[in-house]
Chains A and B, each alone.
Chain A
Amino acid sequence: MTDSGRMAEAFFRDRYNIDGTVAADLIGVAMSRGGDHAELYFEHRQGSNITFEQQHVKTASRTTTQGVGVRVLQGDAIGYAYSEDLSRESMRRAADTAARIASRGDKAEPVDVMHYESANFYTPEAGTLSVPASDKVDLIRRADDAARAYDASIARVDVNFIDELKHVMIVTAGGRMAGDVQPLVRFNVSCLSEREGNRQNARWGGGGRMGMSYFETHTPEMLAREAARQATVLQSAIDAPAGTFPVVLAGGDSGILLHEAIGHGLEADFNRKRTSNYTDQVGNVVASELCTVVDDGTIKDSRGSINIDDEGNLPGYNVLIEDGVLKGYIQDHMSTKHFKVEPTGNGRRQSFKHYPMPRMTNTYMLAGQSAPEDIIRSVERGIYCVAFNGGQVNISNGDFVFSVTEGYMIEGGKVTAPIRNVNLIGNGPDVLRKVTAVGSDFALSDGRWTCGKDGQSVPVGVGIPTVLISGMTVGGTAIG
């Protein structure tokens, strides 16, 4: 078993001479004007991207970023500074800048920095950065071939192979030193189907905290055919209806609905500030009793998983809603102090340039009792949603949207014609109360999602079984 924490510590020690002693000194500077808490976040990220267009590699690129972020807390106030230069002098300057938020002036006692064990939910060696680019281009070409072979109408195929390896190390004012080595791979295929002047575009892809082993179970051919299939299906799409209809969400990708409808509203920062519609709702019924929703950072190799969060806490399996009752929020360090609860391992950030916030990891609904085919059969006239390209929520009142890229009509209990791209709109608490059937077919989305909050992006996972929502507003153009 590889210890990613010790690997990360060795990385920063060997490369930048940053060890427990240096970190303790920086914590000392950060806490030199008082403050309740401080932490250092060291990061080294290497990324690679191969862009393939019109059967050619257009560009191969590499990115390296490195730096340290220093945060000092006093009460509800944050002082934050960062430095891309990892020299002692620059790091001390950043720590001193962050310290300015504190005004109490009581110098903290020196800390002893001790190693803290991270989890092992993925393998650092799996990173793909060291894989020869020609191997990646081979996978890309296989995808291109498969998409073109899928249907004669596939006129354009674009492919992206994006991967990164991130070393992070967190040191807290409490003396905890924890690290992680985070691989992340993502393979995207975009297909254009052109038939008698009608052009339809679809994208598909997947990935996870994995390396080339990802492609053993998700071949480039599978991913490419899926993109080609969706583009081709759209060729015969009809106008989507407008108005309120029953909506059946297919398992997997539809988990984006949970992410938007309830996940963001349960982030504890909004509830601490009383700006979420779920403020003071713990213990209350907030969803149909069929709904049990968890945020789980511990799924093996999943895009949203972490071995340690960006504040130095272990990830967890956190039940948010159990049988419709709200059990708890998604916490970061500040909110655990406010609510006097244990950390949930959800303090995450985009990079060393960003302060941590409560963020989701993998958010999903547990399987229910209904057979998926029975759920569809129970709908007289409605919508069946399969694939999506994004969502957004107003956290204060729970109004949310998500965009359906592959959807169908349900008529007389049967899935019939595909519909054009359509937006669905609802209100989180309202929609979750209208969940009237939950399928037995749970599936996790295949590593496609990135969550944005306050200008910070982090990779997340979503999942859901087939679910029936008794009524939701469908934003089509066909009235009646």
Chain B
Amino acid sequence: MNEDLRSVASDIVEKARARGADEADAYIRSGVESSVSVRMGELEKLIEAGSRSVSIRVIKDKRTAVCNTSDLTPKALDELVQTAVELAKISEPDEFAGLPDKADLASDVDIALQLYDERIESLTVEEMKDIVLRAEQAAFDFDKRINNSEGADFGAERGLVVLANSLGFAGSFPYTAASFSVQVMADDEDGKKRNDYWYSAERLIHRLSSPEEVGRRAAARAVRKIGARKVSTREVPVVWDPVTAAGLAGVVSNAASGEALFKRSTFLADREGEAIASPLLNVVSDARLPAQLGSRPFDGEGVATRRNQLVTDGVFQHFLFDSYYARRLGRKTTGSAVRSGDAISIGGGNLVLEAGATAPEEIIGSVQDGLYLTTLMGFGINVTTGDFSRGAAGIWIENGELTYPVTEINVSGNLKDMLRDIEAVGSDLTWLAGTAAPTIKMARLTVSGL
């Protein structure tokens, strides 16, 4: 199937050239997914299907068109090529349009990144069901107060990514992914429901956490919210747990998008080489880490992926680029093109907020009155200005100890100050689905409540 789809992709590129395209590439994704869901010990859902899609980009007279279809019959592919070439004509000339420079294309597409686990081919529904049943049961067994479940799901996927272009590039890589999650709830004394979840997601099955560990963790997270209350409005130190800290790294990565730079819609514009954060902060986007979900040998346009250091000791290093925005701004692509459907965007890679030296207990212990942040909600991030205002929940810290749970509060600040205010970075680097972060401490944030 591997060689088959490589030749399908190369044929599409040939057809596009024959129809008058100056340059073309074809990106095919083909996969099989299956999932099993249980709830309250009973089978709830079985889903199984295979799918594939092809995305073609053509450039004619510096005009770009992208077309996408799930129909891979020869007739449909002919139509796809024809539509794309015609669509390019109505686009407008753009001197920056084009495929990547040939020199940037990956020459080591077969590099061993451990992205495929053969074990997933033979994984049965019964095995998947067993894992999620055990995980859900472990959550119920963890604490009597767990009284309901929103279910536990296992999902497995295997597939192939193929790319060919008119510069002679032809590459493919097989991938697998397996994940499972559990979500359970408990009631407050007054009946208010408190829920939480936990999960594990990996490319290789043997790296998944045990069902019992995930179930217990989900239950522990739900139970510790029982009796959660609001607090009064104040400015306090905030300790971000590894989950919320990983979210913060995601915000930095979005702000480092070359597209955002071109649009001047990032607070990091014009800040390359400057200290934008505490010297304790190091953020990396790395698509070449073995066995990680964000890894891939080449990006959505065939460029070799690599390790991109975004922030080193607090200094902002550089933006992430695909070939288009790199060319527009006179930079180099960083192998960060992401292809999905008819769109090419910037992102990808495993995002790591690198570990520091401080034990997480010591970080919590250093706070007299503050918030241990475990949950963020909503869309209140303005990357242009850096304004940050999001719904939050967590646990209040008093005299260096985690005390009572808090909810229905809001944390706000401006990212420019927030990144500088990072006072401690923990040693507890925690990986979750292609991102990793430790506990971090921020000197001050506004907590809104009563």
Instruction: Return the chain A residue nearest B234 by Cβ.
Output: A479
Total A-B residue pairs with C-beta atoms closer than 8 Å?
Answer: 259
Q: Report A57-90 CB contacts with B as 1/0, cut-off 8 Å.
A: 1111111111100000000111111111000000
On whether the beta carbons of B446 and A401 are closer than 8 Å, the reply is no
Q: How far is the CA of A238 from the CA of B11 in the complex (A)?
A: 58
* List of A residues within 8 angstroms of B53 by Cβ: 65
On whether the beta carbons of A47 and B342 are closer than 8 Å, the reply is yes
Q: Does A209 contact B (CB under 8 A)?
A: no
Q: Does A389 contact B (CB under 8 A)?
A: yes
On whether the beta carbons of B264 and A192 are closer than 8 Å, the reply is yes
* List of B residues within 8 angstroms of A425 by Cβ: 377-378, 391-392, 408-410, 448
Instruction: Return the chain A residue nearest B49 by Cβ.
Output: A82
Known contacts A137-B92, A355-B45; 15 additional CB pairs below 8 A are A57-B92, A62-B66, A67-B70, A77-B42, A192-B263, A199-B384, A200-B384, A201-B265, A275-B193, A392-B391, A394-B377, A422-B389, A423-B390, A475-B412, A476-B448
* List of A residues within 8 angstroms of B390 by Cβ: 401, 423, 475
Q: Contacts A242-B448, A275-B193, A421-B387 given; indicate if A81 touches B265 (C-beta within 8 A).
A: no
On whether the beta carbons of A61 and B342 are closer than 8 Å, the reply is yes
Q: Contacts A58-B64, A60-B90, A473-B448 given; indicate if A479 touches B263 (C-beta within 8 A).
A: no
* List of B residues within 8 angstroms of A59 by Cβ: 64-66, 91, 344
On whether the beta carbons of B87 and A391 are closer than 8 Å, the reply is no
Report A199 CB to chain B, min CB distance, Å.
5
Report A117 CB to chain B, min CB distance, Å.
30
Residue in A61, A194, A200 whose Cβ sees the most chain B Cβ within 10 Å: A61
From A158, A192, A275, A475, give the contact of B391 (CB < 8 A): A475
On whether the beta carbons of B410 and A423 are closer than 8 Å, the reply is yes
* List of B residues within 8 angstroms of A289 by Cβ: none
* List of B residues within 8 angstroms of A47 by Cβ: 342
On whether the beta carbons of A403 and B378 are closer than 8 Å, the reply is yes
Q: How far is the CA of A66 from the CA of B69 in the complex (A)?
A: 8
Q: How far is the CA of A200 from the CA of B384 in the complex (A)?
A: 7
On whether the beta carbons of B148 and A274 are closer than 8 Å, the reply is yes
14 contacts between A and B (CB under 8 A): A62-B342, A65-B53, A84-B51, A132-B90, A240-B389, A242-B412, A243-B233, A391-B378, A399-B393, A423-B389, A424-B410, A475-B391, A477-B389, A479-B234
Q: How far is the CA of A302 from the CA of B153 in the complex (A)?
A: 35
Instruction: Return the chain A residue nearest B35 by Cβ.
Output: A80
From A84, A355, A390, A397, give the contact of B192 (CB < 8 A): A397
Q: Does B78 contact A (CB under 8 A)?
A: no
Q: Does B43 contact A (CB under 8 A)?
A: yes
From B69, B193, B235, B382, give the contact of A397 (CB < 8 A): B193
Q: Does A350 contact B (CB under 8 A)?
A: no
Residue in B48, B50, B67, B448 whose Cβ sees the most chain A Cβ within 10 Å: B448
Give the size category of A's interface with B: 35 or more
Q: How far is the CA of A121 from the CA of B448 in the complex (A)?
A: 44
Q: Report B381-419 CB contacts with A as 1/0, cut-off 8 Å.
A: 010110101111100000000000001111111100000
* List of B residues within 8 angstroms of A61 by Cβ: 65-68, 87, 342-343
On whether the beta carbons of A63 and B43 are closer than 8 Å, the reply is no
* List of B residues within 8 angstroms of A479 by Cβ: 233-235, 446
Instruction: Return the chain B residue nearest A86 by Cβ.
Output: B71
Q: Does A371 contact B (CB under 8 A)?
A: no
On whether the beta carbons of A60 and B65 are closer than 8 Å, the reply is yes
> Which residues of A does B touch, CB under 8 Å?
47, 49, 53-54, 56-67, 76-84, 94, 97-98, 100-101, 132-134, 137, 155-156, 158, 190, 192, 194, 199-201, 240, 242-244, 273-275, 277, 353, 355, 389-392, 394, 396-397, 399-403, 420-427, 473-477, 479
Q: Does B450 contact A (CB under 8 A)?
A: yes
From B47, B412, B414, give the contact of A80 (CB < 8 A): B47
On whether the beta carbons of B234 and A401 are closer than 8 Å, the reply is no
- From 30 to 74 in chain B, residues with beta carbon under 8 angstroms from any chain A beta carbon are 39, 42-53, 64-71
* List of A residues within 8 angstroms of B414 by Cβ: 477
Q: Does B380 contact A (CB under 8 A)?
A: yes
Q: Does B94 contact A (CB under 8 A)?
A: yes
On whether the beta carbons of A60 and B91 are closer than 8 Å, the reply is yes
Q: How far is the CA of A397 from the CA of B270 in the complex (A)?
A: 43
On whether the beta carbons of B87 and A60 are closer than 8 Å, the reply is yes
* List of A residues within 8 angstroms of B48 by Cβ: 80-81, 97
On whether the beta carbons of A423 and B91 are closer than 8 Å, the reply is no
On whether the beta carbons of A423 and B64 are closer than 8 Å, the reply is no
On whether the beta carbons of B195 and A396 are closer than 8 Å, the reply is yes
Interface size for B (C-beta < 8 A) is 78
On whether the beta carbons of B412 and A476 are closer than 8 Å, the reply is yes
Residue in A67, A192, A422 whose Cβ sees the most chain B Cβ within 10 Å: A422
Q: Contacts A273-B148, A392-B378, A397-B192 given; indicate if A353 touches B49 (C-beta within 8 A).
A: yes
Q: Does B88 contact A (CB under 8 A)?
A: yes
* List of A residues within 8 angstroms of B235 by Cβ: 479
Q: How far is the CA of A194 from the CA of B67 in the complex (A)?
A: 35
Instruction: Return the chain A residue nearest B225 by Cβ.
Output: A397
On whether the beta carbons of B446 and A65 are closer than 8 Å, the reply is no
On whether the beta carbons of B391 and A423 are closer than 8 Å, the reply is yes
* List of B residues within 8 angstroms of A60 by Cβ: 64-66, 87-88, 90-91
From B68, B185, B407, give the contact of A64 (CB < 8 A): B68
Instruction: Return the chain A residue nearest B265 by Cβ.
Output: A201
On whether the beta carbons of B384 and A77 are closer than 8 Å, the reply is no
Report B225 CB to chain A, min CB distance, Å.
9
Q: How far is the CA of A118 from the CA of B385 in the complex (A)?
A: 48
Report B177 CB to chain A, min CB distance, Å.
14
Q: How far is the CA of A402 from the CA of B80 in the complex (A)?
A: 41
Report A334 CB to chain B, min CB distance, Å.
11
Report B205 CB to chain A, min CB distance, Å.
22
Q: Does B213 contact A (CB under 8 A)?
A: no
Q: Does B449 contact A (CB under 8 A)?
A: yes
Instruction: Return the chain B residue nearest A97 by Cβ.
Output: B48
Q: How far is the CA of A56 from the CA of B385 in the complex (A)?
A: 25
On whether the beta carbons of B91 and A57 are closer than 8 Å, the reply is yes
On whether the beta carbons of A275 and B45 are closer than 8 Å, the reply is no
On whether the beta carbons of B69 and A63 are closer than 8 Å, the reply is yes
Q: Contacts A353-B51, A479-B235, A479-B446 given; indicate if A389 touches B87 (C-beta within 8 A).
A: no
Residue in A56, A200, A396 whose Cβ sees the most chain B Cβ within 10 Å: A396
Q: Does B117 contact A (CB under 8 A)?
A: no
Q: Does B14 contact A (CB under 8 A)?
A: no
* List of A residues within 8 angstroms of B408 by Cβ: 399, 425-427, 473
Q: How far is the CA of A474 from the CA of B341 in the complex (A)?
A: 38
Q: Does B194 contact A (CB under 8 A)?
A: yes
Q: How far is the CA of A337 from the CA of B407 in the complex (A)?
A: 35
Q: How far is the CA of A192 from the CA of B49 in the complex (A)?
A: 43
* List of A residues within 8 angstroms of B69 by Cβ: 63-65
Instruction: Return the chain B residue nearest A52 by Cβ.
Output: B92
From A158, A243, A399, A422, give the contact of B263 (CB < 8 A): A158
Q: How far is the CA of A269 from the CA of B233 in the complex (A)?
A: 36
On whether the beta carbons of A396 and B391 are closer than 8 Å, the reply is no
Report A188 CB to chain B, min CB distance, Å.
14
* List of A residues within 8 angstroms of B385 by Cβ: 199-201, 420-421
On whether the beta carbons of A399 and B407 are closer than 8 Å, the reply is yes
Q: Report B318-342 CB contacts with A as 1/0, cut-off 8 Å.
A: 0000001000000000000000011
On whether the beta carbons of B92 and A62 are closer than 8 Å, the reply is no
On whether the beta carbons of B446 and A242 are closer than 8 Å, the reply is yes
* List of B residues within 8 angstroms of A275 by Cβ: 148, 150, 185, 193, 195
Q: How far is the CA of A81 from the CA of B87 in the complex (A)?
A: 34
Q: How far is the CA of A180 from the CA of B255 in the complex (A)?
A: 41
From B50, B233, B384, B407, give the contact of A201 (CB < 8 A): B384
Report A310 CB to chain B, min CB distance, Å.
16
Q: How far is the CA of A40 from the CA of B345 in the complex (A)?
A: 34
From A58, A62, A67, A133, give the contact of B68 (CB < 8 A): A62
